[in-house]
Amino acid sequence: MRLLHTMLRVVDLEASIAFYTDIMGMTLLRRKDYPEGKFTLAFLGYGDEAANTVLELTHNWDTDSYDLGTAYGHIAIEVDDVYAACERIRNGGGKVVREAGPMQHGSTILAFVEDPDGYKVELLGSK
């Protein structure tokens, strides 16, 4: 068994694809419209789906907002340098909501950014 993907429902698919590709460095792996169901699926990741867990963005054509709820936490992405990643994301127009630094009760360096729909993405140092 292996984890295949995580799915997020998004309001503006183009803005979300731009965030995850242009700012977060993922690749759009595949995208398909389902006219009868009135939705589009887009799969993005840092490698092909055969060997990597990816992110599925679901855009329901007739939905203009979602309640993110309080149970959802975040997506975590490993980066070489959390400080540099925050700077790159900020310079690319991304929103850093927790600056890079050690976690509150430990030494792990982390930061949080927010995607266009308000989902949190945690950046964790690889070192």
In angstroms, rounded to a whole number, what is the distance separating the alpha carbons of residues 61 and 53? 25
Contacts of residue 116, defined as CB under 8 A and 6 or more positions apart, other chains included, come to 10, 11, 12, 15, 16, 19
- Say if CB 23 and CB 93 are below 8 A apart: yes
- Say if CB 19 and CB 42 are below 8 A apart: no
Q: Is 122 marked active-site?
A: yes
Set 14, 87, 99, 122: catalytic member: 122
With H, G, I as helix, E, B as strand and everything else as coil, classify residue 113.
strand
Residues designated as active site: 122
